[in-house]
C-alpha cells in the first residue's frame, strides 16, 4: 500500500523491511518489544500495543483464540489487557509469513510432513 509508512523519512524506509516487530494496525516498527506495557501505545497510530493481535500466542480458531492456557477470554482483541502470557509477535516478512512464533512452527511442521510423505512442491 503506497503511503502506509508516510510518517517515516524516505531514507529509513529500508528499516521497516528489516525490523522484527511492528504494530498490527499500522505496521510502525516497535523499537523494544520487551518494553511494551498495558499503557503502551503505537508512535505511528496511537493504538494500544499490549493487545491480542500483537501477541505471538494469538491464534484465531484456538480456544479463546490463544495458544496459551489463559484463564478467561479476552473479548476485545484490539484493546489493552492484563494478560501475563503476552509476548510481542514478530512482524511478517515480505511474503506475509511470520518470522517466528506459532505460525512459523506450524509451517515448519507442514513442510516436514510433506517431505516425509513425498508431497513436496
pTM: 0.60
71-121 tens-digit pLDDT: 889 999 999 999 999 998 886 644 444 544 445 566 667 777 777 887 765
pLDDT of 81: 93
Residues 85 and 107: their CA atoms lie apart, in Å, by 22
Matching residue, cell 483464540: 65
Confidence label for 48 from pLDDT (cuts 50, 70 and 90): very high
Residue 39 pLDDT greater than 70, yes or no: yes
Residues 60 and 37: their CA atoms lie apart, in Å, by 23
Bigger pLDDT: 76 or 8? 76
Amino acid at each position: 500500500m503506497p503511503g502506509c509508512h508516510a510518517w517515516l523519512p524516505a531514507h529509513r524506509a529500508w528499516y521497516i523491511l528489516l525490523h522484527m516487530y511492528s504494530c498490527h494496525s499500522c505496521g510502525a516498527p516497535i523499537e523494544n518489544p520487551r518494553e511494551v506495557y498495558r499503557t503502551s501505545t503505537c508512535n505511528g497510530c496511537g493504538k494500544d500495543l499490549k493487545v491480542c493481535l500483537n501477541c505471538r500466542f494469538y491464534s484465531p480458531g484456538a480456544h479463546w483464540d490463544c495458544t496459551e492456557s489463559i484463564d478467561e477470554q479476552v473479548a476485545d482483541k484490539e484493546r489493552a489487557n492484563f494478560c501475563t502470557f503476552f509476548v510481542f509477535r514478530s512482524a511478517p516478512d515480505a511474503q506475509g509469513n511470520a518470522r517466528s512464533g506459532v505460525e512459523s512452527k506450524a509451517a515448519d511442521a507442514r513442510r516436514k510432513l510433506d517431505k516425509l510423505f513425498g508431497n513436496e512442491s
